[in-house]
Structure 1
């Protein structure tokens, strides 16, 4: 009799665990805290090498900044997601002054514009003076929005006035690997990707969050991207915490006074203040990449 009771209890426990695994909760709404790590010295060194190869920094002025800057700086970001949309924005008042100073150190006067790979450090204004700096959108930085249902994106940023730049979500070609790791408490799979402009990406996604999205307008995988590396730009995004909620993505990130413009149109205006030898399609693509990543 005791054996029968013991066996019945074991069966019930096994059946209960099976049901729990079968109907495990995969949250499709919540927030993810990201660390965006930018390797400033590597970016500046890469910029200097490019300019030297083109005879644009013969006195080596850029290299004088290397000893004055940290190896990297980290920006705290908050990523809101639901089934249909996402918003990525800086956390409010988290080391913003320190990060701003680190960014300014990477922008010597002679380098208001440079190539891909995070090598555009300064920012030209759309107004008369072409040496303005991006001050971002809401909450001390730029805001990236994805409409996953419509396949569109918007970028809000502040130069001399605020802009909301609209764009379609371009497809990314992904190749799956058999490498796995745990990030922020969830299991992830590595994939290698390339944009239509051949920018190489490394992403770690998790099907435990069934939303096809990620930071920096990344998307196109069967789950959430919670780790993203852009080697050429010396930038990495890593999730540090995930919180599930029942709330939709907030809509109050938009500034009603922002000037609406297409992303390509903004790139055309911005490119007018670049050196003549840089006014080409390749340079415009690099501007777009800098705005996104």
Structure 2
């Protein structure tokens, strides 16, 4: 067989293989993702032990380790249809973590609706006994995309890093097989859906467990309506006033409420 003929056949085979792979690739713009949030309770408790409270907090920590798991798990869903997304916690009937109650650092407090076409977000946010309805633009995140990849829920994902609220380090894994620039909670802005999210220094992660590729009617993705109307600036002012006498403990609370 002539060399030129071999080259032609090789090119045809590569082209056919590429076409076949493209046909079998998974791409979806509508469906529902179930996320699992994992909070490292041991790490969070250790951070809260200081010289002023170590007497009783160290005892509490030892007791907690005997009776409670290291990781507190919670589930949520992200429903998406083209450029609309709705993130909702799944009701959790398990007992609250001892000592922490409704601490925003260890519970899910947000229902978040995002219109990616208009870059607008509406979040129903539970702040202790009060509920706020926060309407504002989506957070601008300066992502740095890396070469690291991993598979999540059957999708190939690429890693991106960022810093939000000046001090919170974020690691995200997104897939361009779902060409929707959304993600869990308020995180958006990557060229594909975020299926994995970690805040390493906050000791919390969200990872997709399942992705259901199905048709979703736009009228099934509607923004929350319950709560006292405000925007991000107004919420910050409210929290600053409410937490002004909480000392160091207020810093973690403040960040958790504003994520």
TM bucket, shorter chain: 0.7 to 0.9
Contact kept, 8 Å, 2:122 with 2:223, in 1: the verdict is no
Per-residue CA deviations over 1:117-144 (Å, capped at 9, x if unaligned) read x7x56xxxxxxxxxxxx8x7xxxx5312
2:21: which partner in 1?
21
2:93: which partner in 1?
97
2:257: which partner in 1?
291
CA distance in 2, matches of 1:190, 1:251: 28
2:121: which partner in 1?
153
Equivalent positions of 1:187-266 (< 5 A) are 187-248=156-217, 250-252=220-222, 254-255=224-225, 257-266=226-235
1:74: which partner in 2?
73
User: What SS is found at the alignment partner of 2:188?
Assistant: coil
Compare the two structures and name the one with the higher strand fraction: 2
Contact kept, 8 Å, 2:179 with 2:191, in 1: the verdict is yes
The 1:218/1:206 distance shift into structure 2, 3 A limit, reads same
Matched, 1:183 2:152: yes
Contact kept, 8 Å, 1:172 with 1:196, in 2: the verdict is no
The 1:13/1:146 distance shift into structure 2, 3 A limit, reads same
CA distance in 2, matches of 1:25, 1:177: 22
Per-residue CA deviations over 1:75-116 (Å, capped at 9, x if unaligned) read 011111122221111224xxx121x422x5335xxxx99xxx
Contact kept, 8 Å, 1:217 with 1:292, in 2: the verdict is no
User: What SS is found at the alignment partner of 2:234?
Assistant: helix
Query: 1:253 Cα deviation (Å)?
Result: 5.6
Query: 1:17 Cα deviation (Å)?
Result: 5.8
Per-residue CA deviations over 1:211-235 (Å, capped at 9, x if unaligned) read 1111121112111110001011100
TM-score (norm. length: structure 1): 0.71
Query: 1:274 Cα deviation (Å)?
Result: 2.1
Superposition RMSD in Å:
3.1
Unaligned runs of 5+ in 2: 1-11
Per-residue CA deviations over 1:249-287 (Å, capped at 9, x if unaligned) read 5345624x42211232123223323244749xxx67x55
Query: 1:39 Cα deviation (Å)?
Result: 0.7
Unaligned runs of 5+ in 1: 1-11, 122-133
The 1:252/1:192 distance shift into structure 2, 3 A limit, reads closer
Equivalent positions of 1:125-164 (< 5 A) are 142-158=110-126, 159-164=128-133
1:44: which partner in 2?
45
Query: 1:165 Cα deviation (Å)?
Result: 1.3
The 1:270/1:195 distance shift into structure 2, 3 A limit, reads closer
